[in-house]
Structures are given as C-alpha cells and as structure tokens.
Amino acid sequence: MYYDEHVREIVSKIPFDPGIYMMKDENGTIIYVGKAISLRKRVRQYFQKTNKSARIEKMASLVRDISYIVTKNEVEALVLECNYIKEHNPKFNVMLKDDKTYPYIKITVKDKYPIIYVTRTYKKDGSLYFGPYTNVGAMREVLRMVKEIFPVKRCRYNLEKKKITSPCLYYHIGRCLGPCINDVNLNDYKNMIDQVALFLQGKTKQIKEIIEKQIEECIEKLEFEKAAVLKQRLDDIDKISDRQTVANLNENSTDIFGYVLNDNALHVQVFKIRNYKVVLHDNVEIKDVAKEEVEESISQIISRYYLEREDIPKKVYVRLEEENIELLNHFFETKKLKINVFCPKKGEKLNLIKMVENNIHINLEDRKNNALEDLSNLLEFSDTVDSIECYDISNLRNEYIVGCMIRFENGKLNKKMYRKFKIKSTMTQDDPKCMYEVLTRRLRHAKDWPLPDVMLIDGGKTQLGAVKKAMDDIGEHTNFYGMVKNDNHRTRGLMDESGEEFDLSNSKSILKFLTFLQDEVHRFTITYHRSLRDTVKLRDGKVYKK
C-alpha cells in the first residue's frame, strides 16, 4: 500500500516522547487526533501487519502525512488532544450524542377499539403517548404488565372495514376481549382504556377506587361474572404494586458510564443521576473497534464529554484500568473541573455500572424488536412477528451436504431450537432438493417444534417452490419468504411464493436484522459442515475419526 513506503519513512522520524499526533489525508485534512506516552511506538502500531479493526484499517489507508506535538507528560497530551479534536472535528474521532429515538407507549384513543403498542415516532394524531422511556427494558416490562392485566385488542385490523371470522389465540387465553367477533360493550372497553392510561401514569390508587366502585355496581345489578373479572383485575394490580420497588439511589450528582463491545462495535452510554434520580442518558455507537482499542476510546470520550457542558457532576463511575482513572482525574484537575473519577470494584456503585451495561444489552435486543415491527408492517401482518426460522444449505464438491435451521423468538436467538440436518436424499449440489428434504423433516415435528410466524429461506423462487411442495406434502403451513441476494451475496430483499419481491433498499433496520439472521444461520451451517469434514476421514475405504 501507499503508506508502506511514504508514511513509514515519516513514522521513523517521529520521536519516542509523549505528545499528540495528527493523521492527515491527501488534502492535508486532519482525519484523526490521538495521544501517546511514546509517539513513535503508538503511531507505528497503525501501520504494522497486526489484526486491526476495519475502522482503523480504513483510516490508516487514507493517511498521507502525520504531524505531532511533543508534550511534557500524558496529562498535558490529553489536554492538547481535546483542544485539537474540538477545533478540527476529525472524522475518525467520536463523541457522545443525544439519543433521539427513545420509545413511547401509544394508545390510539380515537379508534373505536383503541390498541396499545410501542412506537419511536411522536405524532399529533390525537393518540395518547407515554414516554419517552430511556430504559427500554423497563418500558417493555410495563407494557407486558398492562397486557397481562387488561384484555385489550391486540391486532391492528380496522374492524369496521375487515371482517374477521375466527379470533386469535389471545382471545382464547383471556388476554383479549375479542371485539373482532364479540359485541363488546363500547363503554366498558373505553373505561378499561381509561384505566390503562391511569396505570401508565402510576395512579394505581385511583384505578383501584374506580374498579372497586365498578364491582359494587355489578353486584347490585347481579352481574356476578363481570364482578369476578373486575375483582381478578384488582388482585392483579395489587400483586404488581407489591412487586414494584424504587431503586435506592444514594447518589445526587453522578454520571455513570457503561460500555459493551458487541460484534466489533463499541456501545457506550452515560446515565446522569441528579437528586437521586436518573434524569437523562446519552449514547454512542462506534463501529469496527478492536478489543485493545476499547480503553483508549472510553478515556477519550470521557475527557471530551464535559468540556462544553454546564451540568458537571461531582463523580463519574466507569470501568477502566487504574492508570486511566488517574489520567482522567489529573486531566480534570488541569481543566479546573471538580470531577472525581472512580472505578468501583464492588457493592452498589458497581451495580450502577452493571445497570447501564444491562440497559445497553436491552437496547441491542430492542433494535431487533423494532426491525420486527418494521418487517411486520412491510409484510402487512396483523400483529408483530414474534418467531422466525432461517434455513441454509452447505456443501463442498458434493461431500458432506448439510442443512441447518436457526430460530429467533421473543426478541432473541433461541439456540435450544437450532437444528442440524445431514442430507440423505441426494449426493449432488441440488439446493431445491436439499431444501425440500430439510423442510419435510422439520415439518414432521410441527407438534413438538411449534411452527414459527415466518420461515426465511436462503434462495429464490426455485427454493421457495421446494418449500411449498414440502408444506403441501406434509400438510403443515406457515408464512415463508426467500432471502434474495445481491452480487456480494448479501440480502437485498424478500420474495414471496408468487415471486413478488419486497424491496428493502430504504429499510435499513430490516436489512440489518436480516443480515444478522443470515450471518448466524450461515455460521451455524458452516460450523456443522466443517465438523463433519474434519472429524471423519475416508482412508482405504474405511472410516477413521481424528
């Protein structure tokens, strides 16, 4: 590469002193600013043949010149680094930013039979919105409790336009009143929605008073069955009120940084505690980060985070090596900011960091849930897709032909439902025939392995034809789609059994989710294929294990 000859010569002349370095592209624009205890050692690492993240590899490939400033120590270098980043805003340096996609709980009160669901878009459409919720896990738990207590309508069908002939499962298990087939009393339904709104406002005492009054009225009218239903709802609210506890936050001016490295992306969040309550959180995602870059990235983010902010905490909690904690404390002292940085080792303070890290994990899972909602709308499903199975075939020169199935449900991969199929019906690279065998064998277990809402098949119309034949032959059916690939063998769209293709070019959330599933089923299939290939050898007509 270009930097092998030109840039390496520049690096060889950089001193070993502490300081900052500035990477520049062919136009002389500063694209990255960093600090180091030893400038030459640090800069040289960018151009050595070691395992670097894609982000650093790309940055290094753009470097055409490097300038540097020597400082007395690393603290002085950190101060200077912050000043240069602020002035030049290099494209490969990162900064925390406000999250504008917090979710809301929405109640469509203008509908005849209002429904309740999660949305990230606030509109002035007459609906009730609760939120935004910064803790996505807590929000989903609240929504789960609402639907557990109140049998509200689940589907999004417009019942005045669409005639439903049979109710869904939620009606049969008592979690929906079934307005699609029943003549549900509108006043009763509206009263229930009013109670849901009070529940989401935390006014459980007021709800209980309303329900107790309704129970008395039912008893006076001898409507004992209705009274029993209301009494059960009252008991459920009491049970949940007993379970709910408020965290005892013994902090009144503290910022808590948590971070998670997931699939080579560094996810960082800071929770702000003021007056013993979490009042706000910011977050950032940095792509293509190697494990060895994590501590440097976190230190850089924290050092820059407070330079232009008026709301300065007294304490910051973060998991970092002691040397980086000391460096940050010296830095804030130099900047005359009264911030003390700590790395808790145990107790409540460590649990606060774990709380932030857990929220990051929840947000990562929630992205998939948002993609599921988008996918459901794209495919015009009446309810959100909850379970998906994905299939792939792998072979090598007609040897060890295998098929595999993975399952995603309830917002995460269900690895207990992963399945492997060693192909028996053919010894040639016939993907449709292999897919027919895999689906046939899978569908025969429909009673033991519940069918998913959607099956995704690696292939186009030919493979989909094999899947349809398998379903017709076995007598089990569910929704299925082909994952149509681009020239780089990445999913670009979905195809239904009629050959109609759903364009996903403007649906980044769906594409990212499908790519996640495609990568996982491919990984699982390849691993199984290799295990067969590597553990069994044919020698002189005999089978030997390694």
The whole-angstrom separation of Cα 405 and Cα 120 is 32
The whole-angstrom separation of Cα 404 and Cα 389 is 10
| Whole-number pLDDT of residue 466 | 92
**450 secondary structure, DSSP code:** P
Q: Is 407 within 8 Å of 387 (Cβ atoms)?
A: yes
Inter-axis angle of helices 186-200 and 204-220, to 10 degrees? Answer: 160
CA distances for 154 relative to 177, 234, 378, angstroms: 10, 21, 18
- Count the Cβ atoms, other than its own, within 10 Å of residue 313: 22
Residue by residue, DSSP assigns 71-82 as -SSHHHHHHHHH
Q: By three-state DSSP, how is residue 240 classified?
A: helix
| Whole-number pLDDT of residue 314 | 92
Residue by residue, DSSP assigns 291-321 as GGGHHHHHHHHHHHHTTT-S---SEEE----
The whole-angstrom separation of Cα 275 and Cα 252 is 4
| Whole-number pLDDT of residue 546 | 45
| Burial class of 160 by CB neighbour count within 10 A (0 to 12, 13 to 18, 19+) | exposed
Residues 6+ away with beta carbon under 8 Å from 373:
118, 384
Query: Which parts of the chain have pLDDT scores under 70?
Result: 1-4, 49-52, 94-102, 131-139, 141, 161-163, 165, 183, 202-203, 237-250, 275-281, 365-370, 382, 396-399, 488-489, 534-546
| Whole-number pLDDT of residue 98 | 46
The whole-angstrom separation of Cα 427 and Cα 103 is 51
Sheet containing 128-130: give its strands across: 116-119, 104-107, 128-130
| Of residues 237, 39, 71, 57, the one with CA closest to residue 145 | 237
Which amino acid is located at 381 in the chain? Answer: F
Token output for 138 = 């807590």
| Of residues 349, 328, 352, the one with CA closest to residue 339 | 328
Q: For 292, list phi and psi in degrees, rounded to 5.
A: -75, -10
The whole-angstrom separation of Cα 171 and Cα 184 is 12
**First CA to last CA distance, the chain:** 41
Inter-axis angle of helices 54-62 and 2-11, to 10 degrees? Answer: 80
